[in-house]
Structure 1
Amino acid sequence: MAGEPVHRRTYAVDVAAPAGVVYGLVADTTRWPLLVPPSIHVERLDFDGVRDRFQMWVTADGAVKSWLSHRTLDPVARRIDFHQEVPAAPALSLGGRWTVAETGADRCRLVLEHEFTVAGDRPGDAAWVGRVTDANSAAELALLKGTAERWDRLDGLLLSFEESVRVKGPAELVYDYLCGIADWPGRVPHVLGADVVEQQPGVQTVRTTTRSGDGTVRTAESVRICFPHALRIVSKETAPAGPLEAHTTEWSVLPDETGVTAVAQHHVLLRDLPGRGAAAVRAHVRDLFGAQSSTVLHLAARHAESAVRAL
């Protein structure tokens, strides 16, 4: 802690769901982008069932922050201790714990504790970290509660699917096309507009306007994290609407001995929509994002293959 004063925060919520279900949602960091609003992406680096080490990207006070975290899981006590190995500035250290306590039949209490320090204990920095921690923790607890309380029908609200295209062209050109979303208007038929801000290398904040096959115009805001060396792009909608409670996408370019496969993988958490058939909503979401992704992948393939023919 470098001798700096430790600031502590505690948050709690009562959940009408089994303690084991709630613990499982908190323990699986790979699902956090779908289940925890501020989380954009979690890149797991090491996991042995007890120790979990990962890089996380989140939205914090309108900005995108990233840090390396380590967690220790105790499923018997339903406790998870965590600390950030490399905290995001201005935090000097940040850690805490999650605990889930059973309070009755299919009821429990979820508690989140935070401890942090800032260099020199500067009041402005401490206030900023505290404010962001308060906002993100409240959002985390609220959505975890809402998700857990639908545990008996959660499988019907989760949807995962992918589209893929084989490419006879350089993987790097496919990736460049997928990364260059600012150039999609005029090149991708369903994309009417794309406003892109890249405040830090490889992190794109994007606002897109698209038109679906039935003429419906949709505006979406998202954050995209680009990994050029791995030929991957992960993104999450930050203001989902309609039937979407959360939506993440991963674009990946996979070279092999005979060519390249370009893949778009989607993960969706749907809202409960009274009066609307879940099957119809799932089919609509699958068809919409599947068709749009397939269009982009085929255009990226054509871009790469055209360059080869030109040479």
Structure 2
Amino acid sequence: MSVTGTKHHTLHSVAVAAPAAVVYGIVADVAKWPQYFGPNVHVEHLEQDASAERIRIWATANGAVKNWVSRRTFDAEGLRVDFRQEVSAPPVASMGGAWVVSPVGDGTSLLELHHDFSAVDDAPEHVEWIKAAVDRNSATELSNIKELAEQHERLDELVFTFDDTVHMKADGRDVFDFLDRADLWPQRLPHVARLDLTEDEPGVQVMAMDTSTADGSVHTTESIRVVFAPDRIVYKQTTVPGLMTAHTGRWTVAPSGDGVDVTSRHTVTLKPSAVEKILGEGKTVADARAYVHRALSTNSTNTLKLARAHAEALRG
């Protein structure tokens, strides 16, 4: 199998009604990408300093979950971030490029996303697959950045994070198994009406779930989970309820005293245009925050309590 071949180049761009520094800040803060960008599921920092970083990214490409290792270098003065995949996922043989932000006028900017890539065996079908994935993901990412940058003054209001923690007098391995085996949740969790789970690659779970909330409504969500045994599971909802534009989260299991502390963390981005449509006339973003927080926290806490009962019973 040959991994070298013709180098292909693409350019995608978008005009943004926001200062260039704001746009650059969004591009540079890769830890928040799963929250900001639809295709991005999770980012792990492998190395990091002021001028560069090595990261592993999990993201969707043409409907499949891929992961790769990239190195990124920063030019804050030039408003540029260069990237190069160190370990690519087939059919990509090599991939790199740059994000370039240019001030255009009074509080506006142009964001360009450059890619260069080669395909495994230089096969035409591989080239077309990569081009389709680059086109789709680039368009989504640029649109997301534009939307975020243009409402950057509201991000503190629209994006929020909260934790729920339950102490369990149990073995952490039993708790982790309960959280990992989400395929059994319809039998174990009353608020889960349906859950379909596939795990084609060990540690990467794709699932669709119907859950009921305290007010009796049922929400259908689709998620991708990345499992880091024995103490952490991270996830990204790829289909979210109407009040949100993004929802990421994680489960963590940490030793504590006579057992473990198990924490569910949620980070939510609200969709302002949906608030009155869903909650009623006159309702505000603050009302939506309270509603979403209550619904997610209730389900998470119920899951944690049932996990505690299950794991503590196993310890005896």
Structure 1 length as normaliser, TM-score? 0.96
CA shift at 1:208, angstroms?
0.4
Supply the distance in 2 between the matched residues of 1:257 and 1:214 (Cα, whole angstroms).
Answer: 36
Q: Which amino acid aligns with 2:59?
A: V
Supply the distance in 2 between the matched residues of 1:278 and 1:53 (Cα, whole angstroms).
Answer: 36
What is aligned with 1:277?
284
What is aligned with 2:131?
130
Supply the distance in 1 between the matched residues of 2:246 and 2:120 (Cα, whole angstroms).
Answer: 35
CA shift at 1:120, angstroms?
2.7
Is 1:293 paired with 2:288? Answer: no
Supply the distance in 2 between the matched residues of 1:120 and 1:178 (Cα, whole angstroms).
Answer: 40
Q: Percent identity?
A: 40
What is aligned with 2:280?
none
Aligned 1:197-276 pairs, distance under 5 A: 197-229=198-230, 231-273=231-273, 275=276, 276=283
Supply the distance in 2 between the matched residues of 1:215 and 1:120 (Cα, whole angstroms).
Answer: 54
CA shift at 1:2, angstroms?
6.9
CA shift at 1:3, angstroms?
5.7
Alignment length, in residue pairs? 308
Supply the distance in 1 between the matched residues of 2:51 and 2:299 (Cα, whole angstroms).
Answer: 39
Is 1:304 paired with 2:305? Answer: no
SS in 2 for 1:192: strand
| Deviation per residue, 1:23-77 (Å, 9 max, x gap) | 0001001000011110000111111121111111001111100001110011110
Aligned 1:152-231 pairs, distance under 5 A: 152-229=153-230, 231=231
Structure 2 length as normaliser, TM-score? 0.95
Supply the distance in 2 between the matched residues of 1:2 and 1:176 (Cα, whole angstroms).
Answer: 39
Name which of structure 1's ranges 179-188 and 21-30 shifts more when overlaid on structure 2: 179-188
Supply the distance in 2 between the matched residues of 1:249 and 1:107 (Cα, whole angstroms).
Answer: 33
Are residues 193 and 114 of structure 1, via their aligned partners in 2, closer, same or farther at CA, if it must alter by over 3 Å? same
CA shift at 1:106, angstroms?
1.1
Q: Which amino acid aligns with 1:120?
A: D
CA shift at 1:14, angstroms?
0.3
RMSD, matched Cα: 1.3
Structure 1 ranges of 4+ moved more than 4 A: none
Are residues 2 and 184 of structure 1, via their aligned partners in 2, closer, same or farther at CA, if it must alter by over 3 Å? closer
In structure 1, the gaps of 5 or more residues are none
In structure 2, the gaps of 5 or more residues are 277-282
Supply the distance in 2 between the matched residues of 1:219 and 1:97 (Cα, whole angstroms).
Answer: 37
| Deviation per residue, 1:229-250 (Å, 9 max, x gap) | 4x11111110223110000010
Contact 2:4 2:93 in 1 (8 A): no
Supply the distance in 2 between the matched residues of 1:240 and 1:9 (Cα, whole angstroms).
Answer: 31
What is aligned with 2:279?
none
CA shift at 1:256, angstroms?
3.6
SS in 1 for 2:272: coil
